């Protein structure tokens, strides 16, 4: 287990299962899985992002939005990041509007 997983898991709150993998190119992959929500009949909802700190932040942003939408009232420390997550989402949308040929970062979950 990598040392970052402990604080990440505690911030994500009791519903999250945080996992950090290495892909075939020695790159971190952050996965945050919801222990409650099941999508597509049998798989748990999850956010999944490769990369370093940016990947971790992007996965956590997705998780924060998921908690807000599906588990309002859940007491998770990461909800403190909600306004920052919304600002990052807004920024990504503006970048994409300015450059529509860029690959959207938020379509795979």
Question: What are the residues binding Zn ion (CB under 5 A)?
Answer: 34, 36-37, 70
Residue closer to Zn ion by CB (options 71, 96) is 71
Residue closer to Zn ion by CB (options 24, 60) is 60
* Six token digits for residue 95: 């970048």
* Six token digits for residue 103: 């690959």
Burial class of 100 by CB neighbour count within 10 A (0 to 12, 13 to 18, 19+)? exposed
CB of 22 to Zn ion, least distance (A): 26
CB of 10 to Zn ion, least distance (A): 18
CB of 23 to Zn ion, least distance (A): 25
Number of H helices and E strands in the chain, helices first, is: 3, 3
> Which backbone phi and psi does 79 adopt, to 5 degrees?
-65, -20
Residue closer to Zn ion by CB (options 37, 89) is 37
């Amino acid at each position: 287990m990598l040392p970052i997983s402990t604080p990440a898991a505690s911030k994500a709150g009791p519903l999250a299962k945080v996992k950090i993998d290495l892909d075939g190119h020695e790159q971190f992959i952050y996965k945050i899985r919801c222990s409650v929500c099941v999508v597509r009949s049998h798989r748990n909802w999850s956010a999944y992002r490769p990369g370093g700190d940016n990947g971790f932040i992007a996965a956590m942003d997705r998780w924060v939005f998921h908690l807000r939408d599906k588990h309002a009232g859940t007491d998770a420390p990461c909800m403190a990041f909600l306004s920052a997550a919304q600002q990052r989402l807004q920024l990504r949308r503006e970048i994409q509007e300015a450059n529509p040929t860029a690959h959207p970062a938020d379509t795979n979950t």
